[in-house]
Amino acid sequence: MTGLINWFKTIFILEITGEIALKLVPPKYKEFIAFVMKLILVMAIIIPLLNIKNADISEITDGISNGFKTYSKENDNVSQALYNTSDKKMAEKIISEDINSTAASYGLETVSVKCSFTSDMTAVSMINVYVKENNIAGNDNIDRLRTDIAGRYEISVEQIDIREAGESG
């Protein structure tokens, strides 16, 4: 019984260690760490099963393998969705702060900044900005801000929607 308890403790520790590693590594290594984590976890489960004497364990290992494939696929989908959501919020926050300071240099105050991203999260696909004009300069400030943002984020000016707060559209 003690061996079984130690086995569960080991699996739990491996799982926690893997989750911590996933949070600490740069995004480009997350997939590799997740793969290694699953491989270690599978080995931690299968090796003790191989020690069962005089038993046909092929059905057991096939069942475990199929279970892990299903779990892995579902877990990857959920993890990717959560990661993308977290990544989008952080990216949108950074872009919003950048646009706020840029708009201020044109005498504009941002009310709201919303971003859309490409499906692989490698680029901005659309930026929507609502601004209030501080009457420091003329009406061409919005056009100059649009051009500046397009240059910063390497997108066309058509992908940037800047409106004065209170405008409907």
Within this chain, do residues 73 and 130 fall inside the same structural domain, yes or no?
Answer: no
169 part of a folded domain: no
Give the CATH number for residue 109: 3.30.70.1350
Q: Cα(14)–Cα(4) distance, rounded to whole angstroms? A: 15
pLDDT tens digits, 101-134: 888 888 888 888 888 887 776 777 888 988 887 6
> Are residues 15 and 65 both part of a single domain?
yes
Domain that holds residue 18: 2-49+57-83
> Domain total for the chain?
2
Task: Count Cβ atoms within 10 A of the Cβ of residue 113 and give its class: 0-12 exposed, 13-18 middle, 19 or more buried.
Answer: buried
Same domain as 97, residue 25: no
Read off the pLDDT of residues 64-114 as tens digits, 9 standing for 90 and up. Answer: 666 656 655 555 554 455 455 556 777 788 888 888 888 888 888 888 888
Task: Classify residue 71: in a domain, yes or no.
Answer: yes
pTM value is: 0.47
- Same domain, residue pair 69 and 112: no
**How many Å apart are CA 144 and CA 103, to the nearest integer?**
9
Q: Which long-range contacts (CB under 8 A, 24 or more apart) does 47-53 make?
A: 48/7
- Given a cut of 60, whether residue 136 has pLDDT beyond it is no
Question: d(Cα 74, Cα 58) in Å, to the nearest integer?
Answer: 24
Residues 77 and 94 in one domain: no
Buried b (16+ CB within 10 A) or exposed e, 48-68: eeeeeeeeeeeeeeeeeeeeb
Q: Are residues 67 and 106 in the same domain?
A: no
pLDDT-based confidence at residue 38 (cuts at 50, 70, 90): confident
Per-residue pLDDT reduced to its tens digit, 157-168: 888 888 887 655
* Residue 79 falls inside a structural domain: yes
* Whether residue 152 sits in one domain with residue 93: yes
122 is a domain residue = yes
In order of 20, 37, 49, 128, the CA distances from 33 in angstroms are: 10, 6, 25, 36
